[in-house]
Amino acid sequence: MAKFVGAVADWLGLRRWVFPASLFPLFLAVAIGLQALDGAYRCEFGGHPDEAGHYVTGLLIRDFIARAKVGNPMAYAKTYYAYYPKVALGNWPPGFYLLQAAWTLPFGAGRTQVLVLMAGIAALVAALIAGVAAGRVPRPLAAACGLVFLLLPLVQSYAAMVMTEPTIALLALLATVFWARYLAAERPADAIAFGVLAAACILTKGTGFLLAGVPVLSVLVARRWSLLKRFSFWLSAVVVGILAGPWTLLTLHFAKEGWEEGKPSLSFTLSAIPYYAGKLHQALGSPLLALLLLGLGVALVRAWRDGRKAALETAVAALALSVYLLHILVPCGHEARHLIPLLAAGAVLIAIGAKEVWLRLGATRLGRTGEAVVLVVLVAVVFGFQTFALPAKGYAGFQAVAEQILATPEDAKTVLFVSSDARGEGMFISEVAMREKRPGHHVLRASKLLASSSWSGGDYVAKATDTTGLEQVLAQAKVGLVVIDTTVPADRLAKMPHHTLLSLVAAADSQEFGLVGTYPMWRGGERFEHGILVYRFHTSPASATKE
């Protein structure tokens, strides 16, 4: 047994990871501090329209496991959705939610606990960047580039949310490390490890398929054609097919509902190329982007020239290119967050680029440590002046509503009805679910009960177009309290007439809608004093029987 453990330790090269492991506590403290400065602990899960959905789906998995009963998971999920209709298992794979459950089962599922998990994931990415870069540049510079990743405003924003992108970045970069090991030694175990991590990445989010480009591009840029003849090269694909294939095939039609377009197209690619190039420039600033591109160029030259000796450069460059290519070819939308895995690989390339600049300037008398310190200072100064900012999350208001409802004994079994955009409805549902013994209140969404649309908001159809129809829907659903968010932006409001109708009817019909209270709402950092209105819906015999 001891020999086996020793062999595994040697294969993993655990000694190499002492340095990044020693940086993790510092990076974790920085990540939590940035979350606090960005207002994450004061805000609700509305930083992105998907954030509440990720949180509630994580609660579903956690609560199913906590039951400790044998049961049908699909039946449980359907029941859970009836209470908290922000569950999206199927549209998204289960990996991220299993990770949440593993954390929240022992530590709790409150906002603080979940955000600390997200900070931990971001800190792990930063530590991994430092560990990978330390193989090619001085350790101070490697550590600085890990810190730069954490400090990037785009990374800060998503490390302060319950979102999958930091986890994708972690798994993708870790998988790439094993692929670099395979390129260097061609051991089947490394190919299998890459396949396992790639499958985990895909089962976290479909964008994990970006890792499919890493082996392909590695062969192309390093001219390692002989690898195609090796069975070990294809082992990773076999592993991915076995582990991630069934789920992917079963849920592909759900995942496509979230795409911007139904299938790849030239028009999407032509718009995505400049979009993601511009967002990459915005995320890094001109100097850091220049260093990244220089590092990418150096990595590609070394891969072409040195082959096996440049395995690390080959794999990291392939990862960066794969992220960009996936998101300009697959029409999953125009969103800067998709670049976060590229920024993880890019941080390593920035380190390589910075070292190359220093080498080109000629020898100095500073010594290796002195040179590393100068490089760190230069990168820090450039980053601080060009890129660094503290993005504010700035979405809150439903916590007070949820607390008031849950503190009112007469509303213990009341059916709740919320009307807002996807962001607002998710915030309310997550605040209720977070605070009560689940399942507790039935929460209904106006966007589902009064209208229908695709996952991405297209194909909108209003189900209730007048006062009579609207009140009948509420009566049949036995709604007791109606929560209306009055802060929905005008551009979204134009696409959801059911919300406007409900707001007008509730304000005009005092017989059936009794105003219970008003609450302030923060949206995008702006405060709206009476942004949330809560009505008690009095079901009259007429509204309950209208046809």
pLDDT in tens, 298-343: 999 999 999 899 999 999 999 999 999 999 999 888 999 999 999 9
Are 410 and 480 members of one domain? yes
The domain boundary, picked from 368, 386, 404, lies at 386
Q: Which residues contact 9 (CB under 8 A, 6 or more apart)?
A: none
Mean pLDDT throughout 371-377?
74
Share of the chain above pLDDT 90, in %: 76
**101 belongs to a structural domain:** no
Q: What does the pLDDT read at residue 9?
A: 54
CA distance 192 to 178: 9
Query: How many structural domains does the chain have?
Result: 2
Mean pLDDT throughout 484-494?
93
Q: Which residues is 92 bridged to in the sheet?
A: 89
> Smallest Cα–Cα separation from 181: which of 192, 190, 171, 189?
190
Predicted model pTM: 0.93
pLDDT of 244 strictly over 90: yes
CA distance 325 to 171: 18
Residue 333 backbone class (left: φ over 0; alpha: ψ -120 to 50; beta: rest): left
**Position 70 confidence tier, pLDDT thresholds 50, 70, 90:** confident
Are 375 and 517 members of one domain? no
Task: Look at the alpha carbons of 277, 283, 286, 289 in this order and tell me if their dihedral is positive or negative.
Answer: negative
Share of the chain above pLDDT 70, in %: 93
**382 belongs to a structural domain:** yes
**61 belongs to a structural domain:** no
Are 406 and 382 members of one domain? no
Are 380 and 400 members of one domain? no
Are 327 and 348 members of one domain? yes
Q: What does the pLDDT read at residue 434?
A: 97
Q: What does the pLDDT read at residue 541?
A: 45
Are 241 and 291 members of one domain? yes
- Give helix 398-406 / helix 422-435 axis angle, nearest 10°: 40
**528 belongs to a structural domain:** yes
306: containing domain: 2-37+110-386
**54 belongs to a structural domain:** no
pLDDT of 498 strictly over 90: yes
Are 343 and 429 members of one domain? no
Are 253 and 123 members of one domain? yes
Per DSSP bridges, beta strands 513-523 and 526-537 are antiparallel
**Position 378 confidence tier, pLDDT thresholds 50, 70, 90:** confident
Q: What does the pLDDT read at residue 10?
A: 58
Are 285 and 410 members of one domain? no
Q: What does the pLDDT read at residue 457?
A: 66
**CB–CB of 355/170 below 8 Å?**
no
The domain boundary, picked from 357, 386, 415, lies at 386
Mean pLDDT throughout 408-436?
96
Are 235 and 352 members of one domain? yes
Q: What does the pLDDT read at residue 37?
A: 94
The domain boundary, picked from 337, 359, 386, lies at 386
Q: What does the pLDDT read at residue 89?
A: 87
Cβ-in-10-Å burial (0-12, 13-18, 19+) of 305 comes to exposed
Q: What does the pLDDT read at residue 546?
A: 46
Are 369 and 408 members of one domain? no
**136 belongs to a structural domain:** yes
Are 355 and 411 members of one domain? no
pLDDT of 482 strictly over 50: yes
Residue 164's alpha-carbon distances to 45, 168, 197, 442, in angstroms, are 14, 6, 15, 27
